[in-house]
Amino acid sequence: MGVMVAPSLLSADFGDLRKDLEMINSSEADWLHLDIMDGVFVPNISFGFPVLKYVAKYCTKPLDVHLMIVQPEKFLEQFKDLGAASVNVHYEACTHLNRTINEIKRLGMKAAVTLNPSTPVSMLEEIINDVDMVLLMTVNPGFGGQKFIESSLDKVRRLRKMITEHNSQALIQVDGGVNLETAPLLIEAGVDVLVSGNTVFKADNPIETISKLKQL
């Protein structure tokens, strides 16, 4: 199986969202990545349920929700009702991560834990066999279009090693600064899922760009 690609809606044209959703639907994208920001956990606010309702209505791809919010456990039911396929919660935002991961799974969604760039992979030691996916932030969360943090490549390799050693089934996802130059390096390091905002949505031909990422 090749690499999976999850375009990040944060970089879409919100003035003409239907057009971008139709582009995603007709592309080879595997999932649509949705960045939810609360202005507290990260220094930015994105979009909430009134927008998500229409995204869920018109998007035919599985929805991959990335919660950059404090107390993400408060909203899990609402994301289940929205039809989310997977929910990413930040390690740094969860006091009771094990409980929150179990709750996501109990609701029938895939459960993922996300690490900020400064949080070491070793913090996952006790949870790696309980999660469906680990999302490594390859920029500081909050904004699209930032520069890829180079040291992330070694971090991916360390995570791949941990997953193998623990015989875990967790997928490795990366988010931030993924482009046609950084993607091959990430794939070589062991990534399964590429999130990509600006590279896809600001491209002259987004469908072709998604296809190129998939073929790497």
Enumerate the active-site residues: 35, 175
Pick 11 or 106: Cβ nearer Zn ion: 11
Identify the residue whose tokens are 């349920």: 49
Whose Cβ is closer to Zn ion: residue 66's or residue 110's?
Answer: 66
> If binding is defined by CB under 5 A, does position 175 make contact with Zn ion?
yes
Does position 132 interact with ligand DX5 (CB under 6 A)? The reply is no
Cα-based angle 51, 183, 86 (whole degrees, multiple of 5): 40
C-alpha–C-alpha distance, residues 29 and 206, integer Å:
10
Place of tokens 């202005």: 39
Site for ligand DX5 in 156-195 (CB under 6 A): 175-178, 195
Least Å from the CB of residue 150 to ligand DX5: 14
Interface pick for ligand DX5 out of 146, 158, 162, 214 (rule CB under 6 A): 146
Q: Which is nearer to ligand DX5, 64 or 132 (CB)?
A: 64
196 is a site residue for ligand DX5 (CB under 6 A): yes
Give CA separation, 109 vs 84, 115, 125, 194, in Å. 7, 19, 22, 20
Identify residues 81-110 at the interface with ligand DX5 (CB under 6 A). Answer: none
CB 5 within 8 A of CB 192: no
Terminal-to-terminal C-alpha distance of the chain: 12
Q: Which positions from 29 through 58 interact with Zn ion, judged by CB under 5 A? A: 35
20 touching ligand DX5, by CB under 6 A: no
Nearest Cα neighbor of 97 from 88, 85, 107, 108 is: 88
| Binding-site ranges for ligand DX5 (CB under 6 A) | 8, 10-11, 33, 35, 66, 139, 141-146, 175-178, 195-199
